[in-house]
Structure 1
């Protein structure tokens, strides 16, 4: 029975990834001639050429493309194995979560409550851009990404998008605005009143911002935009310190609503903010991930 030499497969994988012997040799800290010998040994074992010359570069043959697909599966499984045992070491479990920078901190705290203050759990939370966090999830640096949009799915996707909550979206503002409206016997008229009251908006890439823009465009309204802010915490502070309004789920400003520092002027039924937990398909799922998502499903079913 013949056995596959995984060192040879790793060298082949590096050559295919780097697009040539010289760059792969530099990455692996070996000589190009040594790398060439290892590649030839793998080709002889498989009985097929894996590359063909294309000028000064190498191009995968059909057999090479098949081998490369298998190599990716092999080394992905190896990364999963290391990640799994790292989390199990010394009986101390780690949960690594990525959170999109624009996501409500209040929502995150509610979601993470089952793991907070547990002595047997190390909770790691990294904030960042959506694409950056998905890359970290793909390379097993993260176990889960929290976002307000799903990961794009295609035939080769390894993502799992779990819709964990949908929140209503409202126009929220300084309480003086509500007093003035009531003094005139009025209520806030959305979207027409945005031509006289300035609004602080989420960034243009946000789902709720795109839905808002569609409504405004259809109504033929030109709103007074005080600011565009990607960070929800900053957005909340600007609205608190100005006589303006903002577009946000009430959960984002629940403390301000409870204290009266801000008020909900009108709920926009056409807009909802969705919250997703994004994971990758894995043979050995982090037990804490199963526990966390199970708790969220139970909480959602009770609402």
Structure 2
């Protein structure tokens, strides 16, 4: 039994005869008759009462008609799902991100993608930027909002720039520089620095070291932490200063001030990264939307 047997049978049943069904299906009447006869032989039951040149369904035909419609509906649905999957409209997508570094573009992109692709199951996984690279290569996540990749990973992963965040000095409000509109990092040369742990945030760590080197000094490292909230706590405890992006979580510390760095290169990039070996239609749909939305005002720095 093939799907065409069911289509021919339903056409005859719903149109009251072989002739009308043949015209609608653009096949010969004899072809439909042969297919229906084969179907009846396979089923071992007559589906139509053909007496007095009138065609009507038998009791068995009435039962079979409902099942035939159900089977065709499932088959048509399966075809439609494949077509939708080819267009990236159905499937799953796992997105990695890290707290405090995604800015306004991340929630805007996620919200818009879920609005447009309501049949894609989206999962969000928070992890450190160092974990993003391994997770992308292993296929644990499909795409990541992260920092630029180290050279060892750049060969196997692709990334696109989303926007750049200005870096700021996080200092005590009692610090002599706290009331300035902006400062240069060389003004912090005599301070101890609270840095992100390089094992978890290699790009952020290296960025601060590079800024200090460009300003002609090597920072005295007082401590390292895994997350921005830990850096804020140590700064508030008087353990040193920190360099990071603006965050509402940081600003909740009443004793701290966030002063923008005026250095020309005092920016840190946010990128979207993925493995080209694991691309699929859903991922391509997400990337297309994300890269289009990064050009909107307010989502990127010119």
Q: TM-score range by the shorter chain?
A: 0.5 to 0.7
Secondary structure at 1:177 match in 2: coil
* Partner residue of 1:161 out of 150, 159, 162: 159
| Structure 2 match to 1:284 | 281
Q: Deviations over 1:166-188 (max 9, x none)?
A: 11212221212147878xxxx96
Query: 1-side partners of 2:138 and 2:274: how far apart?
Result: 12
Q: Deviations over 1:240-276 (max 9, x none)?
A: 44474211122xx245448865323351333321111
Where in structure 2 are there 5+ consecutive unaligned residues?
Answer: 1-81
**Contact 2:173 / 2:257 at 8 angstroms: preserved in 1?**
yes
Residues 1:94 and 1:298: Cα distance change in structure 2 (over 3 Å):
farther
Q: Does 1:199 align with 2:187?
A: no
Aligned residues: 205
Q: Does 1:213 align with 2:212?
A: no
Rg (Cα) greater in structure: 2
Secondary structure at 2:170 match in 1: strand
| Structure 2 match to 1:123 | 122
Query: 2-side partners of 1:95 and 1:285: how far apart?
Result: 7
For the aligned residue pairs, the C-alpha RMSD in angstroms reads 4.0
| Structure 2 match to 1:63 | none
Query: 2-side partners of 1:115 and 1:217: how far apart?
Result: 37
Residues 1:199 and 1:144: Cα distance change in structure 2 (over 3 Å):
same
Q: Deviations over 1:18-51 (max 9, x none)?
A: xxxxxxxxxxxxxxxxxxxxxxxxxxxxxxxxxx
| Structure 2 match to 1:136 | 135
**Contact 1:198 / 1:224 at 8 angstroms: preserved in 2?**
yes
Q: Which moved more, 1:161-170 or 1:254-263?
A: 254-263
Q: Does 1:113 align with 2:98?
A: no
Q: Does 1:270 align with 2:289?
A: no
| Structure 2 match to 1:97 | 95
**Contact 1:191 / 1:216 at 8 angstroms: preserved in 2?**
yes
TM-score, normalization: structure 1? 0.52
* Partner residue of 1:246 out of 242, 246, 255: 242
Query: 2-side partners of 1:302 and 1:221: how far apart?
Result: 28
Residues 1:271 and 1:136: Cα distance change in structure 2 (over 3 Å):
same
* Partner residue of 1:294 out of 277, 285, 292: 292
Where in structure 1 are there 5+ consecutive unaligned residues?
Answer: 1-80
TM-score, normalization: structure 2? 0.52
| Structure 2 match to 1:150 | 149
